[in-house]
Amino acid sequence: MLSRLTLLSGAALLSGAALLASCRAPEAVSAEAAPGSTVKADVGAATTPKVPLATPRALPDFCQGASAVPLPRPVQVQLIKDGFVFVEGPVWSDKAGAFFFSEMDFNSPGPHGPPAKIHKLVLPASVALFIPSSGSNGLAVDALGLVACTHDTQTLSRYDLTTRERSVFVSDVQGKHFNSPNDVALHSAGYVYFTDPDWQLPPRQSETGVTGVYFRNAAGEVRLVDSGLKEPNGISLSPDETRLYVGSVDAGISFYELLADGSLGPRQHFADVKEPDGMAVDCAGRLFVASHSAGEVLVFTPEGAPVATIPVAPKTTNVAFGGADRRTLLITAGTGIYSMQNTAPGFPY
């Protein structure tokens, strides 16, 4: 997708007070990096914001008229294709008219993490190899191509959708390699948010000394904004780009309010999810979260109330909306890719 191009108006959202009423109070996020870290953290995540909160954006055209129609009970998922090694990172591209997803091979570890490739899926079920050696995990799309979390080079990379050539998008933080970037969310103003656990790091050693959440502003400056989460994983923006959701092993789903300059306010608790992985939002603001160990997708209202549990398959890893009407939710789980039809359109990652 072209990251969230034009987003929700303030009238379409619940007030900030209502949204926060059902969520826990902000947690103290240390302004200093975690013990052992060699990267200085962004103090903005730990202090009362001096920058005003971000203004909600208007809904994109594909969201017009969408509402939170309840999901059918039970929700049925369909297997598209099985037989992969381990799939992750789905994303929809309007330009290509297709989904893309990563496949990692943990059976063949190498010096730069597990080998990986990118596949292209044209609905309903035509799958073809797109990038044979991508080193990728989570994917997103901007106007210039695929943005990939690439553990082989410990960077964010971009793949041109036409030439399939690779270039470096985000190289380092304060001159140090990341561990193994995992998932990424792109803001319409050019901001980039991504998680950096260390699952695909070995046998290399961490240069940052921390598993973190990072923010790259429109000028290209990279900041560590939270060093207090154990293995941060899935990441997604709310439809109006006023919230950033992040999943982690020890904290379930957290969220941060965005400030006007793209930086983040304090971390706050959103929902408890067992081993949360990738996530996506629909136009009604509902958050769809892959629960890795449970093998299911959990759905939450913008207030954090659970509204559906969708059984999928063991090792459910990630979700993304796409298709011509953007109502197809592609789900990656273990060795297979699955789909379901949502009652509202959603965002591509």
Query: What is the predicted pLDDT for the residue at 74?
Result: 87
Average pLDDT over residues 66-84: 91
| Domain assignment of residue 348, yes or no | no
| Domain assignment of residue 146, yes or no | yes
* Contact of 225 with 45, CB cutoff 8 Å: yes
Query: What is the predicted pLDDT for the residue at 36?
Result: 55
**Of 164 and 1, more confident:** 164
250-266: pLDDT as tens digits: 889 999 999 999 999 99
Residue 329 has pLDDT above 90, yes or no: yes
| Domain assignment of residue 3, yes or no | no
Query: What is the predicted pLDDT for the residue at 39?
Result: 64
Average pLDDT over residues 313-332: 97
Cis peptide before 132 (omega within 30 of 0): no
Residue 20 has pLDDT above 80, yes or no: no
**AA identity, residue 91:** V
What span, in angstroms and rounded, lies between the C-alpha atoms of 100 and 318?
12
Residue 123 has pLDDT above 70, yes or no: yes
Query: At 327, which CATH number?
Result: 2.120.10.30
Query: What is the predicted pLDDT for the residue at 10?
Result: 36
Query: What is the predicted pLDDT for the residue at 349?
Result: 83
262-300: pLDDT as tens digits: 999 999 999 999 999 999 999 999 999 999 999 999 999
243 CB-contact burial (10 Å; exposed 0-12 / middle 13-18 / buried 19+): buried
Residue 44 has pLDDT above 80, yes or no: no
Query: What is the predicted pLDDT for the residue at 223?
Result: 97
What span, in angstroms and rounded, lies between the C-alpha atoms of 210 and 232?
11
| Domain assignment of residue 320, yes or no | yes
| Domain assignment of residue 255, yes or no | yes
Total domains in the chain come to 1
* Contact of 313 with 292, CB cutoff 8 Å: no
Range of the domain at 125: 10-341
203-244: pLDDT as tens digits: 999 999 999 999 999 999 999 999 999 999 999 999 999 999
**Of 23 and 148, more confident:** 148
* Contact of 144 with 158, CB cutoff 8 Å: yes
Residue 88 has pLDDT above 50, yes or no: yes
Query: What is the predicted pLDDT for the residue at 42?
Result: 53
Return phi, psi of residue 203, to 5°.
-90, 10
| Domain assignment of residue 347, yes or no | no
**Average pLDDT of the residues of the chain:** 89
| Residue 210: CB atoms within 10 Å | 23
| Domain assignment of residue 5, yes or no | no
Tell me how far the alpha carbon of residue 180 is from its chain's centroid. 14
DSSP state of 23: S
| Domain assignment of residue 346, yes or no | no
Query: What is the predicted pLDDT for the residue at 49?
Result: 52
